[in-house]
């Protein structure tokens, strides 16, 4: 009975000690809480009761004041204090307001003397609110002042200029706070008091706010709904460092703690050592954690746990073996009996059986995978391709056949994070080959068996194309259900992005656009007339033209392309392409010709000229088709109204007009009246040359002499723009019922 009483007494006293420690965050005889806010030492209010004049705070900088159940530090209201070195406080908003006549009716400037604290640069933002407002955040240290701030303007009713929740400079601005700002003042100013007097917004505000606490609304411009803002300050002990303060009498870190410099220029903080907990600033320091009682150990049970100073250890009872941890536990002494031997034999037998079955299964799966790869290889025309390659062994331009394993490793098993493009013909991944070559790997959609031989022929022909403005096909993989094509990697996005992304378009000059147009025309001319078998791309558009780091154009995506037999000038196919770029004649007749690419190229030239998309449903109906809108504007002599703003100047006006006329010729309704891509390429090169060397025109007094400098084939391209526009505007609508592929072709 006495033993039970002693155990109960010991447990009760231990519980009291734990509870007393949990509550003892302040010095004895000092205020523990003010309202709902705990006051941990080194912070404190007043002096210790019963000790004379001993302060409840460590330094004057940590002195607090409790008034009406609210904790204050100076003029700032404290809402929470963390021993990890941060404190939340509410600070008044600085403001300046004006009456109807522009007279100042109220100005509040805010200051906070915080010698031991700094405004947290990671947890706060400095904010100004108003329509003609600028705010300053000043810091005063060592007889020096440094400041930060921001300004905001808006014109008219702000709801038409700014969205709720957005604080980007119109009606509201927000900036980062520099590291180490203390002893601060905040001031709000107005640019124009008279404007304030007549405006819906008659006040300007400035304040520091905790990240995420303030969410701007346009209603704040009429009246800010709060007078105080929540902010975070970082606090530290003194102005010294751990190394300098460790030997001083006022060193704050007590037993079982270590010191850590604050990291923002002055002061240090104290942290409990691993295995200890509590308030590291109290005289008794941090106490040892009993991991065995608090179940923070990995022993098999509390009975197998022994607490040590700052840690614990696991053990097994006498007569047992093991570590006493949950991983291995404790085991009785070894006994050589038949049951143990039987268990061992059975376990070994099960392991052998399991390993054998797993080994046979792996062999089966490996053979199954090899057969599947062989099946796909033959199904995708691998035998045909190998036969063709064997004939061209001496050529350096033939395609390489990659294994599926090579391309899986190159793309991290075709991970989604490496997808760089998707379209109607497949998905494109970025890959890195073993020799560190970066490639683009296209995973096509399912292919009809009847198209295999044509696919192999295309691979052979495309792999032999060696043109600086055509994306190089490096090879393919035929061991997968759908063939994989491997292209050179072009790393600067598409022409579509450069034209229509306003942040890129600003640096996209007319000279660059003209050069790109000439490069694309040269590539298409090569495909039409210089390749061993003519190739019609069929989906010429800005999204299928890639740009490298030097903004050199690369024609890509041959998923919709067709080989044109040498004895044919047109090919009957199902209409396929992208709406806005499709040749109207091709859509009506289903007859694909080289001139279909010429029409699509003309639309790309219009994009370069105007910065507009081929099809847009945002404006009036007559402006939805860029081609029709362009021809109409050209006919009405409104060309330069359509050209992208800021691109026209005295030096390039003539060049722009010549390119526009060439684009109009490409957009003729009848394919036979359009120029060939070879003629277009030569014409563009001639325009570029005259643009680069204006002295050419100075030596000749008429257009005929100027054109004599250009290739003779271009002479028939000089007919008047009026006749071109007339022939194009004669077409009213596209024949109904023609199947159109609206996919982007990538």
Catalytic sites, residue numbers = 539
The C-alpha atoms of residue 559 and residue 546 are separated, in whole angstroms, by 15
Q: Is 443 annotated as a binding residue?
A: yes
What sign does the dihedral 713-715-716-718 (CA atoms) show? Answer: positive
The DSSP code for 344 is H
Q: Concatenated DSSP letters for 625-671?
A: BHHHHHHHHHHTT-HHHHSPTT---TTTHHHHHHHHHHHHHHT-SSG
Cα(411)–Cα(239) distance, rounded to whole angstroms?
54
Q: Closest Cα to residue 552, out of 617, 481, 467?
A: 467
- In angstroms, the first-to-last Cα distance of the chain is 86
Sign of the CA dihedral running 346, 348, 351, 352? negative
Cα–Cα distance, 92 to 187 (Å, whole number): 11
Note whether 133 and 107 are within 8 A (CB): no
Rounded CA separation 261/180 (Å): 13
| Interacting residues of 461 by C-beta distance below 8 A, sequence separation 6+ | 531, 532, 533, 535, 563
Spatial distance between the Cα atoms of 346 and 55, rounded to a whole number of angstroms: 74
Instruction: Identify how many contiguous H helices and E strands the chain contains and give both numbers.
Output: 19, 38
Q: Are 165 and 216 in contact (CB under 8 A)?
A: yes
Neighbours of 139 (CB within 10 A): 20
DSSP state of 527: I
* Helix/strand/coil percent split, the chain, to 5: 35, 25, 40
Question: Which residues carry a binding-site annotation for ATP?
Answer: 443
Binding site: residue ranges? 443
């Amino acid at each position: 009975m006495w033993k039970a009483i002693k155990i109960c007494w010991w447990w009760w006293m231990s519980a009291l000690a734990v509870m007393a420690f949990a509550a003892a965050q302040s010095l004895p005889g000092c205020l523990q809480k003010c309202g709902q806010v705990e006051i941990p030492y080194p912070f404190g209010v007043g002096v210790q009761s019963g000790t004379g004049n001993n302060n409840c705070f460590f330094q004057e900088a940590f002195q607090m004041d409790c008034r009406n159940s609210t904790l204050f530090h100076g003029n700032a209201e404290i809402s929470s204090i963390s021993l990890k070195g941060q404190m939340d406080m509410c600070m008044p908003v600085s403001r300046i307001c004006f009456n109807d006549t522009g007279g100042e009716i109220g100005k509040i400037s805010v200051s906070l003397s915080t010698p031991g604290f700094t405004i947290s640069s990671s947890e706060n933002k400095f904010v100004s609110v108003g329509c003609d407002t600028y705010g300053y955040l000043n810091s005063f240290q060592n007889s020096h002042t440094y400041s930060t701030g921001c300004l905001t303007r808006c014109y008219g009713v702000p709801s038409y200029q700014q969205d709720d929740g957005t604080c980007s400079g119109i009606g509201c601005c927000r900036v980062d706070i520099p590291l180490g700002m203390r002893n601060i003042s905040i001031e709000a100013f107005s640019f124009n008091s008279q404007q304030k007097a007549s405006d819906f917004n008659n006040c300007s505000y400035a304040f520091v706010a905790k990240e995420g606490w303030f969410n701007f609304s346009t209603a704040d411009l009429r009246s800010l709904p709060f007078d105080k803002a929540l902010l975070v300050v970082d606090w530290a002990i003194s102005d010294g460092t751990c190394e300098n303060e460790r030997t001083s009498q006022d060193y704050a870190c007590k037993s079982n703690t270590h010191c850590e410099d604050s990291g923002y220029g002055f002061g240090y903080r104290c942290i409990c050592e691993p295995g200890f907990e509590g308030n590291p600033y109290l005289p008794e320091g941090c106490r040892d954690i009993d991991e065995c009682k608090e179940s923070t150990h990995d022993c098999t049970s509390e009975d197998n746990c022994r607490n040590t100073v700052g840690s614990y250890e696991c053990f097994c009872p006498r007569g047992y073996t093991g570590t006493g941890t949950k991983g291995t536990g404790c085991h009785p002494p070894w006994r050589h009996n038949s049951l143990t031997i039987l268990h061992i034999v059975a376990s070994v037998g099960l392991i052998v059986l399991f390993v054998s079955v797993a080994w046979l299964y792996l062999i089966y799966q490996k053979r199954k995978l090899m057969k599947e790869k062989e099946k796909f290889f033959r199904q995708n025309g691998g035998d045909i391709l190998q036969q063709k390659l064997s004939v061209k062994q001496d050529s350096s331009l033939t395609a390489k056949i990659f294994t599926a394993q090579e391309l899986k490793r190159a793309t991290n098993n075709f991970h989604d994070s490496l997808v760089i493009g998707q379209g109607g013909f497949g998905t494109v991944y970025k890959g890195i080959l073993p020799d560190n070559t970066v490639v683009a790997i296209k995973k096509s959609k399912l292919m009809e068996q009847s198209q295999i031989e044509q696919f192999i022929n295309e691979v052979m022909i495309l792999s032999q194309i060696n043109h600086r403005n055509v994306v190089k096909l490096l090879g393919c993989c035929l061991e997968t259900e759908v063939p994989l094509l491997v292209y050179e990697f072009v790393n600067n996005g598409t022409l579509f992005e450069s034209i229509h992304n306003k942040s890129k378009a600003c640096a996209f000059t007319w000279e660059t656009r003209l050069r790109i147009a000439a490069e694309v025309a040269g590539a298409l001319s090569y495909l039409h007339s210089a390749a061993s078998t003519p190739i019609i791309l069929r989906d010429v558009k800005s999204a299928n033209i890639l740009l490298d780091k030097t903004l050199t154009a690369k024609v890509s995506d041959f998923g919709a392309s067709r080989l044109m037999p040498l004895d044919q000038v047109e090919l009957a196919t199902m209409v396929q392409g992208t709406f806005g770029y499709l040749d109207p004649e091709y859509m009506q007749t289903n007859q694909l010709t080289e001139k279909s690419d010429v029409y699509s190229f003309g639309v790309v030239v219009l994009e370069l000229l105007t910065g507009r998309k081929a099809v847009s449903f945002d404006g009036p109906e007559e402006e939805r088709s860029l081609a029709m809108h362009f021809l109409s504007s050209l006919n009405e002599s409104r060309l330069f109204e359509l050209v992208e703003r800021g691109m026209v100047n005295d030096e390039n006006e003539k060049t722009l007009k010549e390119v526009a006329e060439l684009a109009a010729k490409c957009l003729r309704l009848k394919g036979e009246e359009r120029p060939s891509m070879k003629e277009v390429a030569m014409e563009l090169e001639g325009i570029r040359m005259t643009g680069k060397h204006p002295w050419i025109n100075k030596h000749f007094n008429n257009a005929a002499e100027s054109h004599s400098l250009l290739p003779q084939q271009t002479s028939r391209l000089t007919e008047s723009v009026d006749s071109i526009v007339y022939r194009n505007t004669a077409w009213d609508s596209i024949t109904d019922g023609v199947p159109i592929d609206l996919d982007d072709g990538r």
